[in-house]
Amino acid sequence: MSVTRLGAVDYLNARPLVFGLETKNELFALRFDVPSKCAALLHDGSIDVGMIPSIEYLRGPSPYRIVPGMGIISDGPVASVAIFSSRPIEQVRSIALDTSSRASAGLVRVLSREAFGIEPAFVPMAPGIDEMLRKCDAALLIGDPALYLDHAALGIVKIDLGEEWTRFAGLPFVWAFWAGRGGVLTPTQIAALTDARDTGVAASDTVADDYCGPARAALGRAYLRDNIQYTLDGRAIAGLKRYYWLAHKYRLVDAVRDVQFF
């Protein structure tokens, strides 16, 4: 059996999906990157399977397959994907977009039109709230930087995009999932990924403690327990398809493909 090159997201929310995989050296070679890098590596063939932002499923050079039954999903507030704004959202005229992001950047563009009723300028920027808000009215941050940011101390507003999506669509939002070209995973490897997810979710408090350290352990525990889901079920797939339709409506992708699994 050949070793499959896995590219995982280097944020807390991905850790339950890779729980114990570092010991599966006979099955996987694991690396960690920001979401946009995971997508780029998969697209250029540098990895075999990536934990890619959901919108990147439609942007690959060839049709991908999704590992069934799992992903990084929210159904309501997500806590770690948000617009941070110096003014009410209806007054925002420019938004700095975290360059680590892909699915979230697309979601900001969709919700700006569909939910917020604004048409701001979008400015891609490296994540850093001070510089972002010096140049723009608001900033999109994702992952750990968004989760850990004390917006109240900065006197700014936090608009949770998971909460806004579910309020708008009535469905979960799928942020990321494992995907790759057909044939790169064996049933044994898919079973190992499923087992990692199940074990990691069951041990989420330990995952949070190890990742966050004592100062942020309580925040990490609550986040993994209350904000993130890891089962890609029928409602989540319906939310994914709705997002894909809207992404195509606003020309964020060239076409919508059927959702296909390994």
Do residues 28 and 70 share a domain?
yes
| Domain presence at residue 60 | yes
pLDDT at residue 1, rounded to an integer? 62
| Domain presence at residue 178 | yes
State the Cα–Cα distance between residues 52 and 143, nearest whole angstrom. Answer: 14
Q: What is the CATH number of the domain that holds 8?
A: 3.40.190.10
| Domain presence at residue 93 | yes
pLDDT at residue 215, rounded to an integer? 96
| Domain presence at residue 162 | yes
User: To which residue do tokens 């209806």 refer?
Assistant: 90
**Total domains in the fold of the chain:** 2
| Domain presence at residue 187 | yes
pLDDT at residue 62, rounded to an integer? 79
| Domain presence at residue 259 | no
- Give the domain extent around 109: 81-169
State the Cα–Cα distance between residues 127 and 67, nearest whole angstrom. Answer: 29
Identify the CA nearest to 21 among candidates 221, 232, 178.
178
Domain boundary at 118, 146, 169, which? 169
What are the start-end ranges of the H helices in 151-250?
A: 151-154, 161-169, 187-202, 204-212, 217-226, 234-249
Residue 212 host element (H or E): helix 204-212
Do residues 161 and 89 share a domain?
yes
pLDDT average per 10 residues of sequence, the chain (262 residues): 92 98 96 96 97 96 94 98 96 97 97 98 97 98 97 97 98 98 96 98 98 97 98 98 98 95 97
Identity of the residue numbered 96: A
pLDDT at residue 2, rounded to an integer? 84
Do residues 124 and 184 share a domain?
no
Identify the CA nearest to 140 among candidates 108, 170, 115, 162.
108
Residue 24 CA to chain centroid, in angstroms? 24
Domain boundary at 126, 145, 169, which? 169
Do residues 66 and 186 share a domain?
yes
Do residues 163 and 214 share a domain?
no
| Domain presence at residue 8 | yes
State the Cα–Cα distance between residues 111 and 224, nearest whole angstrom. Answer: 25
Do residues 228 and 179 share a domain?
yes
Structure tokens at 93: 């005229």
Domain boundary at 107, 135, 169, which? 169
Do residues 162 and 190 share a domain?
no
Query: Strand pairing partners for 49?
Result: 6, 180
State the Cα–Cα distance between residues 172 and 252, nearest whole angstrom. Answer: 20
| Domain presence at residue 112 | yes
